[in-house]
Chain A
Amino acid sequence: MKTTAKFEEVSHGSIWLIALRSSLLFMVICGIAYPLASTGLAQLIFPHQANGSMIKDSTGHTVGSELIGQTFADPSFFQGRISSIDNDGAGSGSGNYAPSNPELLKRVKDSIAQWEKENPKVPVSELPVDLITNSGSGLDPHITPASAEVQIPRISALRHIPEEQLKQLVAKSIEGRDLGVFGEERVNVLKLNLELQKLGSK
């Protein structure tokens, strides 16, 4: 029984005491020291990113974060994806409609009807699915390049800017896949609209 005798050195009482002391130790280390150290280092090395990647317009006003989607009710702007929370950055969430949920089908049909009304020149068969579906976060800042391109005829008509010029603008705004392979090609709607505003003429 030599081997078992060795285990008896730690009594049950001292296990609870050590457990208490290690709990407190790791509350301080992991719960206070680690996040504060991370914050300090992050603010020192990457201040712009650590504070939410805020973005300014041409007059120097902060107009939002490049990572957080915004609602553009005015049809002369490029529009982002559907957001069931109206891009409220203080919350987040999606409608969470299951594929079989009748509410989903109804919402999508309504979106298509509205699209047809606002974009009579573009056939529905060219309307990309990301433009009429709810994003996961409700804050998706991006649309696919195709979703930007199909909006060009509408914006061109409303702003009296030649389609060719808008096509170049969209092409310039396309962000590639990360490291050339990961994720999808995308267009940041807020950044695109800031560029659009610079073109003026409405």
Chain B
Amino acid sequence: MKITALLVLKAAPETSDPVILANASDVSHFGYFQRSSVKEFVVFVGRTVASRTPPSQRQSVQHEEYKVHAYNRNGLCAVGFMDDHYPVRSAFSLLNQVIDEYQKSFGESWKSAKEDSTQPWPYLAEALTKFQDPAEADKLLKIQRELDETKIILHKTIDSVLARGEKLDSLVEKSSDLSMASQMFYKQAKKTNSCCTIL
């Protein structure tokens, strides 16, 4: 359940290459010498996929051991590199959020970008770390998970309530026995008290 990289690109019309607007990648689990090549690979594949994603479309591509998810919205394209276990829906909601955030913070300035921007965008980097857990990105997943936990807790509660019911039943029996016994006791006491003529 790992995100390896997140990219924001400007998907130019079909002929030219997309322009990278923001890039965040987590290459810590590769060896030191492979990191730069992995970065290059990420950039290249991201460009290819973004150029092939038509506007207002989502696309998922399998490349070696990564799934690349791309979402193109009116020319602004977000690409994410995830492994196979990452649920697709959370991936796309994450890309949605990234694009919304980018539009909020950079407005329309990305439309005029002509070459790859090299400034890091801190939001993307922290998004990368925050959304390693897919539940964070996808609210639906989070809600579903919480509901399942609640259901388990409720099942346990019902079991304990059933046990309580059993104990209450045994208590009721014992208390009824006790009241019977006390009634006999009272009668006996009254009997010994009534006939006082003897002795």
A and B pair up: no
